[in-house]
Structure formats: C-alpha cells, structure tokens
Structure 1
C-alpha cells in the first residue's frame, strides 16, 4: 500500500451524468501512462460530495472493473451521513477494494469524541482497513498528535492521508507511528513531506503529473534532494498554472489533449472558458 496514488478524477457529461467510457480512459491513463501504484477513488478530486450514493457506487464498480488487481485501490467512503458511509464501505469491501478511507466529518463543529465515534462506527460495521483523511483547511478539523494516536491505536486504522502544511505534526506522526501508513496530500509539498519519510502520496495533479511525483518521491528516498528539488520546482510551476486556470477543469482539459475523454465538472462548478481551454492545452504540451 505504499507509493504514488492518484486522487482519481471522474468524467461527467454536460448534464452531470457519469461518462463511463471517459472514466475508464482516466483509469487507464493513470495505470498505463503515469504508472502510479494505486488509485484513491471518490475523493474530493472525483467531485464525490456533489453526487448521489448510487453514482458513487457506480464509480466504484467501474474503477474496479477497469483496474482489476493491477494497482491498489482505496475507496473514499466518508460522508456526513454515517449510514451512507457504512453502506459504501460494505459495498467496496465486497468489490475487494484494498482499503477504505473517510474524510473527517465536517460542517458541524464535531468534538473529538464525536469524530472518534464516527470512525469506530464505520470500522466496527465494515470489515476493511481504514485510512483517515485529514484535510483541516476544508473540514475545519484539526487533530492533535494525541488525538491521532487514539485513532491509530485501533488495529483496523492503518494510516492517514495527511493534507496539511503542519510539517512538525507530520514529523511527530511519523516518529510516533512507524508502522502506520502516512500519505502526503499536498502535491506542491511532496518533497518536504518525502524527506520526513512518508510512505507515499495521494494527489489530484498526479492525473497529469504522476511521473514527476514518483521521481520526487524516489529521489528523496535516495537522499538526492537537489535533483528532487528541481523536479518539485517544475511541478510547482505546473501546479501554480493549473490553480490560476481552474484546478479540476484544467486537469480535465489537459487529459483531453492526450485523448482521454475526461468530460466536464458537475455544477455548481462552472464550465471552463475557451480561453482557459487554450491555456490548458498549452500546459499539456509543455508538461505532459
């Protein structure tokens, strides 16, 4: 379960329906061209919080059918509706996903006991390993080292997707829990996270930049920091340009230039302008 995992995009048509063929093409691009170690399915990059339970299930089915056992598969099943999270967890476990993941419950200001109960309820109901998805900037949930420790004490909680710029906490987590999986979630900070001996990374830009992500990760493991820094700089030039142009829309348009039918984003995300489509093509030509 170590290495580079793409936070998988999903292809939708202009009406917001799943574009099955396009989704299969995104999966194949990540496996065949980017050579990633795994896919993180139905995370925020997959527009998970904009779709129905049945759509989530269908995406899980398509990805498993297309990927088979070629790469490791992590299913993000977290939801404010804990019944949905459990239902999805059981569903993907039957599909033989390698692990489940769940974002910390958000919007309502849950205390830690409520957050702990959320994870324990899921893992007590679902017979699969759990990876905590911590992204404080979007959820407002900041957990301390001791609180992470309470969660990681459970045998079925095997790791954390750590999407935060707190490298002190990241180092403390790595030191305190050497046998748990720690994945970096900020693509632009992959190198400093790798220096702290993470087990891998999960990123949205890996859909178009997976090869560089692997180079950064592996060079850091080899102690070749100067070489890794050069690739991180190029990566961050790309990330800056993508963010300025519209994150998900630009990645989808970049994939289209490589013959991948990445489709459209669901509302309320806006559709990309012709000018920004042209910019995405420029970025694809330069960086892919």
Structure 2
C-alpha cells in the first residue's frame, strides 16, 4: 500500500476572485470553492498555485486566501497549499501558517528567475519542509521556471521522507515513466490537463488542473476510465476536453475560465493586474464555449 495514498485523486488548481482594485473578493472566492466541491466533485484543492495568480500577490494576500479556503472547505476535501517563492523565508512563513490552519500538505514551485544550482534547490526544499510537521509536494513546471530535474535529482529530494511526491507539469513522458518506475511509493500528479490520459497510462496518482474548476467531472472520468484500462472510452472524453481546452486557450486561459464560472452563477471576479480581465469579445466567445461544452 502506497504511503500517503489518502492524497490521491482529482484536485482543482483553485482560481481566485479579485475585485476591480486587485483585492481578494472573499464572497467570490468562497463561491468558487463551493462550486468545486459541490458541482465538480473534486477530491481536493491546490491553493496558491499559478492558477490562483499567486506570484502577483503579497504575503498577506496569500495568507488570506489560505485562510478562506480552509474556512470554506473545512475537512470535506483535501487541501494542498502552494507556498513556493524565490523568497524562501516567505515560503517558510506560509508553510507554517498553512500547517497551523490544518492543510493536508504543502507544495512549492522550484525557485525561479535566477539560475539556482541543484544544491540550492535542494536546500530550498529541505528548509521549507523541515520547518513544519507536514508533507511536501514538489511543483515542477520547467516551461515557466526553466528548472529541469533528472530522475536522480528527484531521488535526492525524495531522500527527505517528508517530501512525498511531485506535481509533474511537463510533456516529458519518458521522464514521467522513469519517475513512476523508480519511485513507486511517491505520489505523482499530472499537471497538464490536456495530457491527462497519456499521463494516466503512465500510472499517475491523480491530477491537478486549472480547467478542473469548470471541467472537473470529465477530468475524473478520464482518470477513472484510464485506471480501469478503458483507454478508448477515456480517449473520447479527452478529445472533448481538449476541444474545450483549445477554445479556452485561444480566448485567454484565466479570463475565460472566470467567465465560464460566471455563466454558472459563480462570482469569479476580475483577474489581478497586470493580467487583463475579459473584454466584451472574450465574454461573447466564452458564452459560445459554455454553450458548446458546459451548458
């Protein structure tokens, strides 16, 4: 039996509702959380990731989002707090706060912008997780961080027993397969929604995705069908999912998902500047996407 098996499943990368001035819209955020729990039926939420526009926020705003998410979700689902930052002291403080709130695990993106050595990256992860009694999931997203790690380097990080897995947001299925074979007792979550089926075939333990905020039901179907070996059925749903994702990406990822939530009665608010919110043209396209795939 895999250790930490309680953390398997489908997690929405939580969107955050902001007002016109970039402040957290608590009412809207609570509505997004409820929508994920009640309508999308997710197993958990990944709070404070890229989808939450996290890297544009102050430490206090990040704490506010962690607090609201825990208060709204209570213990009904699993909660992972993404605390990663290029300021490791902020990460430690956030890790401690999320742990005090009762988050089931923390996660941290690989430190970015500067070309950190692997030894510096290893020190960063150990510094964060050794500051709390909790579990840590590495957030690997090389396309945005420029940080690529090998199977052996993941293994070095996994030597710390409190580092239990990785959110694998990459299209490198060779590396994914090698990781799965080398570390069968560690959790691997797929991070690219459009590639969930091939990742599932490689033996992932779940997935964390931004489009799950509106497409969580299909995400679960793909995952569970793949686990049951029903690949042809899963592929049909992945086709529809990828048609939806293609349309969303062409219209602007986060603004469009927020508009799709609004069409379901959820106060998803504005994007955090400098990210632009949807204009009238994008709103019209979002309505077409909703009618075609979610209505």
Q: Identify the TM-score tier after normalising by the shorter chain.
A: over 0.9
Instruction: Map residues 20-35 of structure 1 onto 2, 5 A cutoff.
Output: 20-35=26-41
Provide the C-alpha distance between the structure 2 equivalents of 1:272 and 1:34, rounded to a whole number of angstroms.
23
Structure 2 match to 1:99? 105
Structure 1 match to 2:3? none
- For residue 10 of structure 2, the aligned residue among 4, 16, 19 is 4
Structure 1 match to 2:203? 197
- For residue 168 of structure 2, the aligned residue among 137, 154, 162 is 162
Report the alpha carbon displacement of residue 271 of structure 1 after superposing the two structures with TM.
2.2
Please state if 1:263 is matched with 2:269: yes
Provide the C-alpha distance between the structure 2 equivalents of 1:287 and 1:23, rounded to a whole number of angstroms.
24
Structure 2 residues not aligned, in runs of 5+: 1-6
Provide the C-alpha distance between the structure 1 equivalents of 2:79 and 2:278, rounded to a whole number of angstroms.
30
Instruction: Map residues 148-227 of structure 1 onto 2, 5 A cutoff.
Output: 148-227=154-233
Q: Secondary structure of the equivalent of 1:79? A: coil
Report the alpha carbon displacement of residue 287 of structure 1 after superposing the two structures with TM.
1.6
Instruction: Map residues 1-288 of structure 1 onto 2, 5 A cutoff.
Output: 1-288=7-294
Q: TM-score, normalised by structure 2?
A: 0.97
Report the alpha carbon displacement of residue 177 of structure 1 after superposing the two structures with TM.
0.6
Report the alpha carbon displacement of residue 123 of structure 1 after superposing the two structures with TM.
1.2
Provide the C-alpha distance between the structure 2 equivalents of 1:273 and 1:54, rounded to a whole number of angstroms.
29
Report the alpha carbon displacement of residue 222 of structure 1 after superposing the two structures with TM.
0.4
Q: Say how many residue pairs are matched.
A: 288
Structure 1 residues not aligned, in runs of 5+: none
Q: Secondary structure of the equivalent of 1:125? A: coil
Q: Deviations over 1:124-171 (max 9, x none)?
A: 112210000000000000000000000012100000000000000000
Provide the C-alpha distance between the structure 2 equivalents of 1:279 and 1:208, rounded to a whole number of angstroms.
16
Provide the C-alpha distance between the structure 1 equivalents of 2:148 and 2:291, rounded to a whole number of angstroms.
39
Provide the C-alpha distance between the structure 2 equivalents of 1:287 and 1:27, rounded to a whole number of angstroms.
21
Report the alpha carbon displacement of residue 236 of structure 1 after superposing the two structures with TM.
0.3
Q: Deviations over 1:27-82 (max 9, x none)?
A: 00000000000000010000000110000000000000000001000000001101
